Amino acid sequence: MSRVTVADAMPETCAVTTRGLSKRYDDEVALDAVDLQVPDGAVFVLLGANGAGKSTALKLLLNLERADSGVAEVFGLDTGRHGPQVRAQVGYVPERHDAGYPWMTCGRLLQHVAAYYPAWDHGYAEQLISALDVRRERRIGGLSKGDTRRLQLVLALAHRPPLLLLDEPTDGLDPIVRKRVLALLAEHLADSPTTVLITTHHIHEVESLADHVGVLRAGRLVAQMTRDALQRTVRRYRIELPDGWEPPRDLVVASPRAGRATREVQWTVVGEEREVTDRLTGSGARVREVTSLALEEAALALLPDDGAR
């Protein structure tokens, strides 16, 4: 699929900006010249199959990994030059389920991390601990995946960071806790001015929060746009095809639903509806129906069909 760009107005201020950001691990490309723009105050969902480079992108933003080339900035701070200052602005939930030191108790770890963030809100931390049912006396080494994730969420949110980097934040949580976490996140966003960059395989979970979407495929950022632009430009077309019909060149077909043998097909096509309809009609096809898609469906249309989601 070619790169999908939608001519929305450029955001005035970006919390996160990358330019030509590339990273390789030996022969494997993790990120390939990524130009990411996360507007200040946005909830930006970064989608991609496993290994598409989502976690690497977050690690580069925290200066935990070194980019091979390109620039990453968080609130205008070059992450390579101002790693500590950048990390002070960020609440990070890593993909891995380990939080701190196995020998420490949850309560001691919270106290430990609080010492590193002058903006730590003790009252809010207490609320989060209570809401997420984090038990202070438990040793971190003995926590389950879900328990660890809840602790990581408290650690990430309690200093009310201007930027949240959440890497699969609901992974390992049971449905009830997952719902509670999403509700907490919504409350947090309402109370604290925060930009969120979130990677997830479950876009429906964050559908109510997301306002921007980006798609990574094999390390390349193939799409980034507002939620409205995504839903406006990715639509399903029911098309009647004449015999011997050839599709117009450069038509970005995200997911054909039926083979060419049938006279009528349903295609998910990327592009402005009027333009797509005109091009299809001009090529001899008849557009029977155009339907808009839910956010998840529209976003998944931009992901590879064969990859895990």
Partner 1 sequence: MSYPALHQTPRLADVLREQVRAVALALRTPALVALAILLLGSALAIAEFVTGGGPVDFAPELSMVPAFVGLLFPIGVWKGERRFGTSFLWLLPVDRQRHALAKVTAGWICLMLAVLFFLVWIFVLALATGGNILGEHTVQLLPSAVIPEARTLDPAALRPIRYAPQPVFWLVPFTAATGTYLLASAVALGSRYPLRWIVGVPLGILLVSALGAAADIDWLRFLASRLLGAALEGRYGLDALFTARAESLKTAVVLSTGKTVSVWRGLPDVREWALATFLWFGAGLAALLAATARHREHRPPRRPRSP
Binding region for partner 1 (CB under 8 A): 12-15, 19-20, 33, 40, 59, 62-71, 75-81, 83-85, 87-89, 92, 94, 96, 98-104, 108, 112-113, 115-119, 159, 161-162, 193
- The contacts of residue 25 (CB under 8 Å, 6+ apart) are none
Question: Least distance to partner 1 from the beta carbon of 162, Å?
Answer: 5
143 versus 270: smaller Cβ distance to partner 1: 143
Grouping H, G, I as helix, E, B as strand and the rest as coil, residue 47 is strand
Question: Least distance to partner 1 from the beta carbon of 167, Å?
Answer: 11
97 versus 309: smaller Cβ distance to partner 1: 97
65 versus 240: smaller Cβ distance to partner 1: 65
95 versus 273: smaller Cβ distance to partner 1: 95
113 versus 181: smaller Cβ distance to partner 1: 113
151 versus 234: smaller Cβ distance to partner 1: 151
**Contact criterion met (CB below 8 Å) for 182 and 190:** no
Question: Least distance to partner 1 from the beta carbon of 77, Å?
Answer: 8
Nearest-angstrom CA–CA distance, 65 and 283: 49
Question: Least distance to partner 1 from the beta carbon of 236, Å?
Answer: 35
Nearest-angstrom CA–CA distance, 293 and 254: 13
Put residue 284 in one of left, alpha, beta given phi > 0 → left and psi -120 to 50 → alpha: left
**At CB < 8 A and 24+ separation, what contacts does 59-64 make?**
60/18, 60/21, 60/23, 60/31, 61/16, 61/18, 61/86, 61/90, 61/165, 61/197, 62/86, 62/87, 62/90, 62/92, 62/165, 63/87
Question: Least distance to partner 1 from the beta carbon of 218, Å?
Answer: 20
Question: Least distance to partner 1 from the beta carbon of 270, Å?
Answer: 24
Nearest-angstrom CA–CA distance, 191 and 193: 7
